[in-house]
Chain A
């Protein structure tokens, strides 16, 4: 068994093998891989005894469930109105310069993906970014760069 197959099997044991357990299983794969690969979808379909198309149909519906490879750390900058007003464009510009990628791309070392997201629920503290599940409110271009540099130092 591959690592993904093992992970899926283990998660199906934890959450159950019914259709209603699909989301938590997909989310567990996401936490570990940052995206849902074809291999993962096939493995999940097999465990839950549903069609791969059904798994793909569900996964592709949700913005956070990427079906294309993503970096180890997924950065999502809020682009909705108050964060827009408070300067999210400058934050994104600074991150693009630092990581040498454009919005929607992954760094070549696979460490980061840079994305936008809709309102993250911190509008009084915009601009806001999410790195994986971690929230960074009231970021400036400078502080956002510092945060990423910390991530770079870690590993």
Chain B
């Protein structure tokens, strides 16, 4: 049903006839009385008041000029590293404060002057302008339709189907080149998200000290962050590698570990889990030592490290992957392989 089918009497313009405007002989109390008479402001009748307004506006513009001078002076005079105490904000950069305030005042007073001028001294007589329908009148529409028909006929697009169809084909195909060109925006995912730098025999290196960890370095109740041996901050792909390989390590009394596999993959109660939250990938950073819960600060997903790091609260969809660890001949903690499942946020191919 298109809008044309609306019965006319449902439109308010029609209904109005039995309401507001219908009463013929007597005066309609709701009728539009027309524009109210113009009321003069004090500045319109009292030249002294007008002069006062003029002086206020000029004063505002003058303040603006002074503020700009102040801006330049601050730029030149204030050392870039000086800080000032401004109540109640505290210590802030003197340069930033001075430049911002002078600029702000210079601009604000121009605006205030202009608005005051407009409100008090320019004519405040309200004027009514006619509106004209946006829609073209029927003659115009008829003319345009006829012109278009003529143009279409002269192009013979409708008649010469072969031209039309091949043209549409060509126009539809050529944007493909543009799409193809986007192919090299990035490599295909392949199985990159399934692997990290961890592999059998890689030492667990303490993130803070950059030293390989021994079991004795991991105390009960503390949260240790680790990276795989060989990955250094200055490496070109450090950011991308650490985004997958970051590890968190805690020590739990073995008898408190509820998950069998977790216990098997741990070493003397030391367990290593991916630090990357399985929700959308924030690093996990908070540890509650009594409960062995770790918390992701981004959306509060909480994982129970004593029970396979399963999700006990929050929007994460699955447990943190565990890294299987052991100790090598020299007594250092080492990985016994890569993570068994992809780390970080879930994705379609994860399975």
A binds B: no
Chain A residues within CB distance 8 Å of chain B: none
Chain B residues within CB distance 8 Å of chain A: none
